């Protein structure tokens, strides 16, 4: 019989195994590697779920009317032209910047390697702001790697399997990113609140020079995110009489809920850091 004592015994055995797994997953880093390979088992499900979206894009691309395509093409060409003009200017500026940094003996590198990645899944748990992308450790993604979209910092890779990785967004309640105010270099840390539209700066004194509309960029402290990428824009500054700290809310500049194409950034210092962690 399948009922009775054997069920109770089984219940306790499996309950015990689960508890052991949970504890070891919290405690030991080696579990990450193990998980990475186990996760390959659910990769097909993640791909399957993405099929409707992908086939829709595919159909859409094929069914678009010729005129529309021509118009879009023209528009894109114009955009490219504008962007190229800016890049030309930027190239000169970059060289100049290099020279100046050389003069200052600064070791900071400006060049970063970039992997273009595509979103294939979103975590369905509303408490966890994570997305899944189609690059795993087989194509160069590593834990701790910063992730951007076209308009700002999205988050960081927290877990890699062979073919996919999991990205923790900056708005997750467990995430914090070191930032500075672009206008005056005021440093702070932007904490996620578990809400897609807000980040909070908790440690700014009441007299700090920060205003609504200020752009927050990544400060590069903490060696995780590269310096100078836009993170958020300040949308609310509240002062409380008698309190030491102001309450500052900011809205992420990246389209956290919408972006489908993401960039994985690879800075030299980042890589060496990741390699150290592996050792």
Partner 1 sequence: MVMQRAHNLWVPFVTLLIAFMLSALPMLEWVQWGWPEWVLMVFLYWVIALPQRFGIGWAFVLGLLLDLLQGTHLGINALAMVVATFIVILMYRRLRMYRLWQQAFVICVLVVIYQCISYWLQGIGSNASSGLWFLLPAPISGVLWLWLFVVLRGIRRAFKVA
Question: Where does this chain bind partner 1 (CB under 8 A)?
Answer: 1-3, 7, 10-11, 14-15, 17-22, 25-26, 31, 35, 38-39, 41-42, 45-46, 48-49, 53, 121-128, 130, 159, 166, 172-174, 194, 196, 257
The distance of closest approach from Cβ of residue 58 to partner 1 in the complex, given in angstroms and rounded to an integer, is 18
Block residue for tokens 């910047």: 97
Judged by beta carbon, residue 142 or residue 229, the one nearer partner 1 is 142
Judged by beta carbon, residue 34 or residue 81, the one nearer partner 1 is 34
The distance of closest approach from Cβ of residue 24 to partner 1 in the complex, given in angstroms and rounded to an integer, is 8
Judged by beta carbon, residue 7 or residue 80, the one nearer partner 1 is 7
The distance of closest approach from Cβ of residue 129 to partner 1 in the complex, given in angstroms and rounded to an integer, is 9
**And the tokens for 266?**
């690879």
Q: How far apart are CA 144 and CA 2, in angstroms?
A: 47
Burial of 169 (0-12, 13-18, 19+ CB in 10 A): buried
Block residue for tokens 């060696």: 223
Judged by beta carbon, residue 48 or residue 103, the one nearer partner 1 is 48
The distance of closest approach from Cβ of residue 20 to partner 1 in the complex, given in angstroms and rounded to an integer, is 8
**Which residues, 6+ apart, have CB-to-CB distance to 172 below 8 Å?**
128, 129, 130, 155, 192, 194
Beta bridge partners of 265: 114
The distance of closest approach from Cβ of residue 26 to partner 1 in the complex, given in angstroms and rounded to an integer, is 6
Judged by beta carbon, residue 122 or residue 208, the one nearer partner 1 is 122
């Amino acid at each position: 019989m399948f009922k009775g004592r054997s069920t109770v015994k089984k219940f306790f055995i499996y309950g015990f195994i689960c508890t052991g797994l949970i504890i070891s997953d919290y405690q030991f880093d080696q579990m990450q590697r193990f998980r990475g390979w186990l996760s390959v088992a659910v990769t097909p499900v993640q791909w399957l779920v993405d099929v409707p979206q992908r086939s829709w894009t595919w159909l859409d691309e094929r069914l678009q009317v010729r005129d529309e395509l021509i118009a879009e093409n023209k528009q894109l060409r114009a955009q490219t032209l504008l962007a190229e003009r800016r890049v030309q200017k930027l190239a000169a500026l970059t060289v100049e910047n290099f020279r100046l940094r050389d003069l200052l003996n600064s070791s900071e590198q400006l060049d970063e390697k970039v992997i273009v990645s595509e979103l294939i899944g979103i975590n369905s748990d509303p408490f966890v702001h994570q997305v899944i992308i189609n690059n795993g450790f087989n194509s160069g993604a590593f834990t701790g790697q910063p992730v951007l979209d076209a308009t700002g910092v999205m988050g960081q890779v927290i877990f890699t399997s062979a073919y996919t990785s999991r990205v923790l967004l900056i708005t997750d309640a467990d995430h914090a990113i070191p930032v500075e105010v672009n206008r005056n270099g005021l440093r702070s840390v932007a904490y996620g609140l578990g809400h897609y539209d807000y980040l909070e700066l908790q440690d700014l004194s009441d007299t700090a020079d920060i205003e609504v509309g200020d752009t927050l960029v990544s400060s590069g402290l903490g060696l995780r995110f590269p310096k100078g990428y836009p993170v958020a824009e300040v949308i609310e500054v509240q002062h409380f009489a008698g309190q030491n700290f102001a309450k500052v809310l900011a809205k992420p500049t990246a389209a956290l809920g919408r972006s489908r194409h993401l960039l994985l950034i690879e800075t030299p210092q980042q890589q060496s850091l990741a390699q150290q962690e592996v050792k």
